[in-house]
Structure 1
């Protein structure tokens, strides 16, 4: 069997189909990528050609067992289909045979298993959201590696509830709750350096927000994916494209909090590309938006108003990327600073500020901040923080002062202690 293209699963149409378990689109995508006819596809999966035709045309429902069997035969990653760990075929089930005639028990769609349709009422979405909210609060004091298993399990729970809510008046609210759950799982995966899983969950969060029909949630998740691509994946061009898509969805007359935040994310993308003028324009737009009277009451899913301190924080990040250390240090001083943030986000900002100090020639202060960030990163098991400290050290080309050697020793100790420390770099 020929190899599938490496980027097949990340192509927008296929990624969306995987996230919603749209097996017709996924299977047709595999067939096209391999250059098969429908007859070739039928032979590969050991089903009849007429049955395969009904599947790819969306006319044939699939059982969970059949989904697993087709995924195995076609090399479709099960974890991308939202089935691993939650739905499994019977342990003693025989290999799947061609689908029986409609109406038989084996023809029951996956969405209706677990004893048929179960009721979903108005309490489900708030309950799901409260779980995500509790997990987010714990993120400021707990290692991501400790939160990740429960966050991923919560995503699966939300997806199951979403299937049960299909066709009911609660579908939109449950979709929104599932979007928030996936967005938080993405954040945790990014903190652990698992870029592929983070990207997959962010994309799912966007899809679920659109299914919910909530424009601001759609923008928030698109912007979060953009910030991930810009800042963590270091792909500002891709991030800028996502920002532009989010701005189109947002429209010209949206809430100032959303517009200010998105302008800052866009400014960070422009700075990553090296476009100083566009970055400054983005920060300027954000400052105008936060001065509007309506900015005092942020809309959901924003919790806090996007204020002057937050814009100053982005201005500082822009200054670091544009190699303007004095501007960056002034902006960091104006911002609310790491003290107002969670420990891990504080550490990320300390590494950025360390880079600004190093650019300005203040080596002792730069490496003091880097050491503090490293201590936080190791304490919380955050690959994102530790890898940023390593990146800062790699970029430094100045004199080998005592503070530099101290950081080198700490990084070397971390590598030597890695097997027993629980820290894992992505």
Structure 2
């Protein structure tokens, strides 16, 4: 027998609305199916404000009737029903709040956009040092605040809040994908980021978000989907206009996707194009929020692709050069480069050197957690399987499966 949904109220409302599968309901809401499973669990989490209206719109019932328990301090369902009754309808597929009438919410002063963006900027800076499990809830809460502020703003203030909200959702999506390895959640979050960028009419932000969505199918080896998303990202970038650094990053993203799909020759061509773009430069400025890319990061992309292409001497030289040029604040990228250097040595038949670099990566992870970095180390350990009796590999296992590392990995 099929196990009944534990939140039977939501399942019944979903079925009555014509969504006979969780997948269909998730697609209508613009979230991952994993999120719907959470809502239909024993203890469903309280949805973000923008999704509450969508849920009630699709099912015709308020949150309480859908089996959700209102957290302390939240609005009563009667207030939600009043808002739904007086607020203008949103466009199909939108997950951002509509602008309400003056009688339903006070209009915020223009300064609220600056205040909101200041917090967004702080979160951007903290990403490089604060543990993802600590930062992510704060970023999500800030996004909730932005969604709540949008209906209380208009004109340029609304566009400015939406721009900062798009960056906030993008940061949340980056944490979910790169730091926590939750691609389904990241996909849903990046969709919200794209909608906020549309509200702000920020084409470059839209391009950056679309390029990040390409990582998800790219890492899964889904070439066609990744390629389509990169076409969209480049289309938005042309409306920017985009700086040389921004266009080089798009090349690097596409190169990473091509590498993951086994097309290393195409990837190396894209990286050469990116290097040429950086060398030529441009008159356009790079957005201040694009702090995740520079020539050293491009070199790291290149070294990884050379590794996957089997060009081991070139990969070693590229990665060592990138390591020497890295700034002291780039801890997460340093973990990835150590992992790739370990992979180079493992492929070259040098297990001791491979283990040395892998242990350096583990040392870095203890300072700044990065799930993508741990993935690299695990790949190296699999490559070292023929040497599992060597003392250096056993020592690596003791580090890799120590209490702290194991608990951290399982917790994430």
Q: TM-score band (shorter)?
A: 0.7 to 0.9
Does the residue aligned with 2:385 lie in a helix, a strand or coil? coil
Counterparts of 1:127-138 in structure 2 under 5 Å? 127-138=115-126
Instruction: Name 1:40's counterpart in structure 2.
Output: none
User: Where in structure 1 are there 5+ consecutive unaligned residues?
Assistant: 31-44, 46-51, 53-65, 73-77
Shift of 1:68: 1.2
Deviations 1:347-369 (A, max 9, x none): 12221221122112222222112
For residues 155 and 85 of structure 1, do their structure 2 counterparts lie closer, same or farther at Cα, with a shift above 3 Å needed? farther
Give the Cα separation in 1 of the matches to 2:265 and 2:316.
19
Shift of 1:375: 2.9
User: Where in structure 2 are there 5+ consecutive unaligned residues?
Assistant: 1-11, 33-46, 88-96
Instruction: Name 2:303's counterpart in structure 1.
Output: 316
Give the Cα separation in 2 of the matches to 1:379 and 1:68.
42
Q: Quote the RMSD (CA, aligned, Å).
A: 3.8
Give the Cα separation in 1 of the matches to 2:83 and 2:144.
25
For residues 362 and 129 of structure 1, do their structure 2 counterparts lie closer, same or farther at Cα, with a shift above 3 Å needed? farther
1:352 aligns with 2:367: no
For residues 229 and 375 of structure 1, do their structure 2 counterparts lie closer, same or farther at Cα, with a shift above 3 Å needed? farther
Does the residue aligned with 1:409 lie in a helix, a strand or coil? helix
Contact 2:214 2:225 survives alignment (8 Å) = yes
For residues 180 and 299 of structure 1, do their structure 2 counterparts lie closer, same or farther at Cα, with a shift above 3 Å needed? closer
Give the Cα separation in 1 of the matches to 2:292 and 2:51.
37
Return the match for 1:68 from 45, 63, 70.
63
Give the Cα separation in 1 of the matches to 2:335 and 2:213.
21
Does the residue aligned with 2:349 lie in a helix, a strand or coil? coil
> What's the TM-score once normalised by structure 1's chain length?
0.73
Return the match for 1:7 from 23, 43, 48.
23
1:334 aligns with 2:321: yes
Instruction: Name 2:395's counterpart in structure 1.
Output: 406
Contact 1:296 1:305 survives alignment (8 Å) = no
Give the Cα separation in 1 of the matches to 2:105 and 2:24.
33
Shift of 1:202: 1.8
Question: Which of 1 and 2 has greater Rg?
Answer: 1
Give the Cα separation in 1 of the matches to 2:325 and 2:410.
24
Counterparts of 1:95-110 in structure 2 under 5 Å? 107-109=85-87
Shift of 1:115: 8.3
Instruction: Name 1:264's counterpart in structure 2.
Output: 252
Give the Cα separation in 2 of the matches to 1:331 and 1:180.
32
Return the match for 1:246 from 233, 237, 249.
233
Deviations 1:325-354 (A, max 9, x none): 222212213325584252223212221221
Contact 1:216 1:250 survives alignment (8 Å) = yes
Shift of 1:129: 2.2
Give the total of aligned pairs. Answer: 368
Instruction: Name 1:298's counterpart in structure 2.
Output: 286
Q: Using the TM superposition, name which of 203-212 and 374-383 deviates more.
A: 374-383
Shift of 1:288: 1.9
For residues 108 and 337 of structure 1, do their structure 2 counterparts lie closer, same or farther at Cα, with a shift above 3 Å needed? farther
Give the Cα separation in 2 of the matches to 1:174 and 1:306.
27
Give the Cα separation in 2 of the matches to 1:363 and 1:317.
19
Give the Cα separation in 2 of the matches to 1:303 and 1:330.
25
Give the Cα separation in 2 of the matches to 1:377 and 1:26.
39
> What's the TM-score once normalised by structure 2's chain length?
0.75
Counterparts of 1:10-409 in structure 2 under 5 Å? 11=27, 14-15=29-30, 21=50, 66-69=61-64, 71-72=66-67, 88-90=74-76, 107-109=85-87, 116-165=104-153, 167-190=154-177, 191-231=179-219, 235=222, 237-251=224-238, 254-294=242-282, 297-303=285-291, 306-307=294-295, 309-335=296-322, 337=324, 339-340=326-327, 341-400=329-388, 401-409=390-398
Instruction: Name 1:48's counterpart in structure 2.
Output: none
Give the Cα separation in 2 of the matches to 1:348 and 1:416.
16
Contact 2:347 2:383 survives alignment (8 Å) = no
Contact 1:338 1:350 survives alignment (8 Å) = no
Does the residue aligned with 1:7 lie in a helix, a strand or coil? helix
Does the residue aligned with 1:294 lie in a helix, a strand or coil? coil
